[in-house]
Amino acid sequence: MRLYNHPYNRKKSTVAMRRCCCGYTGEVLGRNDHQACLSCSPALSKHLCGIILITPHTAMPLPDTMYCAQQINIPPELPDILKNFTKAAIRTQPKDLLLWSAAYFRALSKGECLPVKDRLEMNVATQKTDTGLTPGLLKTLHKQLSRTETCNKVELQKKWKGLCLPMDQLETLLLLGSFSSEVNWMEFFALGCSSLGGTLINSLKYACEILTEDEEGGAARIPFNVFAKLYTYLAHLDGDMSQNQIDNFLSSLQPQVELQHGMIKPLDFIHRDDMDSTTSDSSNFAKASSKAE
């Protein structure tokens, strides 16, 4: 606002921050008995002999300013979503956080199983790098894809990529199992265990530890019929075992399985001499497993 040098203005006019009758709050023209902005009282402005409001309030709207936190609308579910996401990222330790985050929120929005490990884990000793498959990641894949007997190859690729696993390792496993567009999940799971274990015994030990419903550090028991399917598939993949050898080995485990109500644990087979004889490094199984690591 500019005040012209007029005696009347100097003596009796004031310029102050007041509220006009129109609701505008700001600089207004006035005397003791008159207060108005220029837009609402041009007559008053003329009466005051040249007091001019340089920038009327119609040209200077009040800034859209947030004055307190209560004016910001925060969705009530947002804090829990961010808290769970942060904890999941810490447990899973994805190599590509943005890629994994996209898979996480996509699964969350669809109500699907999340790409999250049950707990933080150290890399297994057989891994040449820290970017490959781990027991925790294989368990996560199992929870995501074991709902049906088979899964679509494209879906498997999406879940695999969402966990930031190397695609060349996936292609090696798919080639090893000669899978088509539909993948038998438990067969692929067995191959995943073989890439972790390297030998038939260690592969089945990993299978028990991943599939068990026992508490961590427990016996790691699984149903014997599941064990038999995994063992038979991997033994056939080995190529050095006859069906008669496979049947004899499974039959030898039956007495112990019956005592455990149809369950088997790693201690029931890891020290068996007849099983150890089939897991030399020269076997086809060991060679195939080494390619998938």
Same domain, 280 and 154: yes
Strand-strand pairing, 263-264 and 222-223: antiparallel
Residue 150, beta-bridge partner list? 184
Same domain, 260 and 143: yes
Last residue of a domain, one of 65, 88, 107: 65
- Tens-binned pLDDT, residue by residue, of the chain (293 aa): 444 444 444 444 444 455 555 554 555 445 444 455 555 555 444 444 444 444 444 455 556 665 676 778 889 999 999 999 999 999 999 999 999 999 999 999 999 999 999 999 875 544 444 558 999 999 999 999 999 999 999 999 999 999 999 999 999 999 999 999 999 999 999 999 999 998 999 999 999 999 999 998 899 999 999 999 999 999 998 878 889 999 999 999 999 999 999 999 999 998 765 554 444 444 455 555 555 55
Last residue of a domain, one of 50, 65, 80: 65
Q: Which helix (H) or strand (E) holds 237?
A: helix 224-238
Instruction: Examine residue 95 and state whether it is found in any structural domain, yes or no.
Output: no
Is residue 132 within 8 A of residue 186, CB to CB? The reply is no
Same domain, 200 and 286: yes
CB atoms within 10 A of CB 184: 15
Same domain, 44 and 130: no
Instruction: Examine residue 224 and state whether it is found in any structural domain, yes or no.
Output: yes
CB atoms within 10 A of CB 218: 11
The amino acid sitting at 100 is W
Same domain, 282 and 172: yes
Is residue 289 within 8 A of residue 197, CB to CB? The reply is yes
Last residue of a domain, one of 15, 40, 65: 65
Instruction: Examine residue 74 and state whether it is found in any structural domain, yes or no.
Output: no
* Burial state string for 92-113 with b = 16 or more CB within 10 A and e = fewer than 16: bbbeeeeebbebbeebeeeeeb
Instruction: Examine residue 77 and state whether it is found in any structural domain, yes or no.
Output: no
Same domain, 45 and 169: no
What angle (nearest 5°) sits at the alpha carbon of residue 284, between those of residues 167 and 193? 45
Domain around 1: 1-65
What angle (nearest 5°) sits at the alpha carbon of residue 40, between those of residues 45 and 67? 115
Instruction: Examine residue 208 and state whether it is found in any structural domain, yes or no.
Output: yes
266-270 contacts, C-beta under 8 A, 24 or more apart: 266/204, 266/205, 266/208, 266/209, 266/220, 267/219, 269/201, 269/204, 270/201, 270/205
The amino acid sitting at 120 is L
Instruction: Examine residue 110 and state whether it is found in any structural domain, yes or no.
Output: no
Instruction: Examine residue 104 and state whether it is found in any structural domain, yes or no.
Output: no
What total of structural domains would you count in the chain? 2
Sign of the C-alpha dihedral, residues 150, 153, 158, 164?
Answer: positive
Question: Which pLDDT does position 198 carry in this prediction?
Answer: 86
Same domain, 189 and 278: yes
Same domain, 285 and 140: yes
Question: Which pLDDT does position 122 carry in this prediction?
Answer: 72
Is residue 160 within 8 A of residue 173, CB to CB? The reply is no
Strand-strand pairing, 25-31 and 14-19: antiparallel
CB atoms within 10 A of CB 34: 14
Number of H helices, E strands in the chain: 13, 7
Strand-strand pairing, 150-152 and 182-184: antiparallel
Same domain, 166 and 28: no
Instruction: Examine residue 196 and state whether it is found in any structural domain, yes or no.
Output: yes
Q: What are phi and psi of 64, to 5 degrees?
A: -80, 85
Question: Which pLDDT does position 146 carry in this prediction?
Answer: 95
241-248 contacts, C-beta under 8 A, 24 or more apart: 241/278, 245/274, 245/278, 248/274
pTM, entire model: 0.71
Same domain, 180 and 288: yes
Question: Which pLDDT does position 130 carry in this prediction?
Answer: 53
Those residues with Cβ within 8 angstroms of residue 121's Cβ, 6 or more apart along the chain or in another chain:
134, 135, 136
